Structure 1
Amino acid sequence: MTRHTLGSHPFLLGFEELDRLVERTAKSGEGYPPYNIEQVGDGAYRITLAVAGFAEEDLAITLEDRQLLVRGRQAETSDDRVFLHRGIAARQFSRSFVLADGVEVTGAGLEHGLLNISLERKSPQRVVQTIEIGKA
């Protein structure tokens, strides 16, 4: 049986990368840290990650080839604290989001243990192009 995917449909030319993007995002299914994605306006979005215990210097946000990557790594503390119960996670994490064409990161802020990343979709200019018919 032949496996048909969205990117291999004959009417969708040039969308082969879509299958790779879906596969790549499906692999980042770990549940830590929890996050929200909300639409905050027309073409404006906000990703909020719960990063309690992380300081700004413990976090890194990078954008490469439409993949937004948020990493967290807390510095090891060498104090003599003895925990009777440790329920606040202090592990490193990596969370990725694939952004659509035209979506740009407009800012990020850390407040009350929540990392907010603001995104905005820029409207593409619509171009009508006439194609001349010539000899092949």
Structure 2
Amino acid sequence: MRNFDSLYRSTVGFDRLFDMLDTSSRPDWPPYNIEKKADNDYRITMAIAGFGPGEVELSQHGPELIVSGQKAPDAEERQFLHKGLAIRNFQQAFRLADYMNVVGATLDNGMLAIDIVREVPEQMKPRRISIASPEPASLAQDRERPRKAA
């Protein structure tokens, strides 16, 4: 368990984040990489040798991406002298930041690649706001006065 006492004392409203960090424990299998390909493009690559496309499921529930693999039971009885391949069912969850969307996934040579893109809505992007200044009162009064005809 991690110790966040000093952060608890100096922050307000981040208790859920610290609870999530305290309780986060990822299984060691299957191994994975998280890669940043560009400013808004990411890829998760998982080594899932022995699984076919029909045995792996991806689902996104709000900010959580869940990758699960269900291996069908072996139809034939085999006798192993050594069993070193970890071909077993798994479920791995990844917490995604705001506006992150899974745009595609491929399974090639036992490597599952999941492409994720940050798509920030236009209204949420930073924008410059112009500041107007009021006219001085003397100029406004001059405009309101009727002009004398010459």
Name the TM tier (shorter chain).
0.7 to 0.9
Give structure 1 stretches of 5+ with no counterpart: 130-136
**Gap change, CA 1:79 and 1:53, over 3 Å in 2:** same
Partner of residue 119, structure 2: 122
SS in 2 for 1:97: strand
Range with greater deviation from structure 2 (76-85 or 59-68): 76-85
Question: 2:21 corresponds to which residue?
Answer: 22
Higher helix proportion = 2
The alpha carbon displacement at 1:65 in A equals 2.4
**Residues 75-116 of structure 1, C-alpha deviations (whole Å, 9 max, x = no match):** 001213222211111211111110000111111110000010
Cα pair 1:69 1:97 within 8 Å, conserved = yes
Identity value in percent:
36
Stretches (4+) displaced over 6 A: none
Residue deviations 1:56-78 (CA, integer Å, cap 9, x gap): 11111111120111111100012
Match of 1:46 in 2: 43
CA positional deviation for 1:18 = 2.6
In the alignment, the residues of structure 1 paired with residue 32 and residue 15 of structure 2 have an alpha-carbon distance, to the nearest angstrom, of 29
The 1-side partners of 2:105 and 2:45 are apart by: 10
Q: What is the match of residue 133 of structure 1?
A: none
**Is 1:52–1:113's contact at 8 Å kept on the other side of the alignment?**
yes
Q: Which residue in the other structure is 1:59 paired with?
A: 56
Residue 80 of structure 2 aligns to a residue whose secondary structure is coil
Distance 2:76 2:88 in 1: 17
- CA distance in 2 between partners of 1:58 and 1:23 (Å): 32
Paired residue for 2:34? 37
- CA drift at 1:23: 4.1
Unaligned segments of structure 2, at least 5 residues: 130-150
1:36-55 superposed Cα distances (whole Å, 9 cap, x missing partner): 01111221110000000011
Distance 1:9 1:127, change over 3 A: farther
Please provide the CA RMSD for this pair: 2.5
How many residues are treated as equivalent by the alignment? 123
Q: Structure 2 CA distance, aligned partners of 1:63 and 1:21?
A: 19
Q: Higher Cα Rg: structure 1 or 2?
A: 2
- Residues in 1 aligned to 2:20 and 2:119: alpha-carbon distance in whole angstroms: 21
User: How many angstroms apart in 1 are the aligned matches of 2:44 and 2:92?
Assistant: 11
